Amino acid sequence: MEIKKIESSYIIHHGLESLPQVDQNLIAYAITQLDHAYAPYSQFKVGAAVRLKDGSTYAGCNQENSSYPLCMCGERVALYNAAVYSPNVAPETLAIVIKNEKKAITTPVSPCGACRQVIAEFEQRFKNTIRILLTSDSKTIYELNSVQDILPLSFDSSFL
């Protein structure tokens, strides 16, 4: 038997001012997407914005459906928008903002498993890591260097 240890780390920012202006702008763009989220069932809104290596940005928000498996998460909508309009440009940073209309969320919330896997696919596809910025109602921002920090044993095309 062999035991291996998996560790992950992230940076905690206590306010936007500790981030570069380009990251502050990306988070602000993600926040604007909360107004477009369709979340009548959960009241849990997700706004996301992705900045690509060429500086262009794309956004998305969650879209719920009464048949829950058909819902689309904001992270995936943003990444897929980028893939449609800039298919050959690698994502650099993904900002994810959440808001629960029923209660205050005082810590950032990480992406669901499906979104983690999609982010991992984009990292593999473009052979680069994607920084992830997470925030909520609080002023706290979590900065991850890669999705591998929260999905260390991801599935990828090398298994196919």
pLDDT per position as a tens digit, 100-128? 999 999 899 999 999 999 999 999 999 99
Closest CA to 108 of 11, 4, 22: 11
Cα–Cα separations (whole angstroms), residue 63 to 3, 27, 39, 67, 73: 41, 19, 6, 11, 7
Give the Cβ contact number of residue 76 at 10 Å.
Answer: 21
Structure pTM? 0.95
The predicted structure's pLDDT at residue 138: 80
Query: How would residue 77 be classed by pLDDT, with cut points 50, 70 and 90?
Result: very high
Mean pLDDT over all residues of the chain? 96
Domain residues of the chain, as ranges? Answer: 11-159
CA gap 8, 151 in Å, rounded: 9
> Given a cut of 90, is residue 96 above it in pLDDT?
yes
> Given a cut of 90, is residue 93 above it in pLDDT?
yes
| Structure tokens, 4 | 């291996």
Active site residue ranges: 75
Helix 74-85 and helix 21-33, axial crossing angle in degrees, nearest 10: 110
> Given a cut of 90, is residue 58 above it in pLDDT?
yes
Amino acid residing at 41 = Y
The predicted structure's pLDDT at residue 27: 98
Pick the CATH number of 11-159 from 3.30.70.270, 3.40.50.300, 3.40.140.10, 3.40.50.1860: 3.40.140.10
| Structure tokens, 138 | 């609080």
> Given a cut of 90, is residue 18 above it in pLDDT?
yes
Query: What would the 3-class secondary structure string for 117-128 be?
Result: HHHHHHHHHHCC
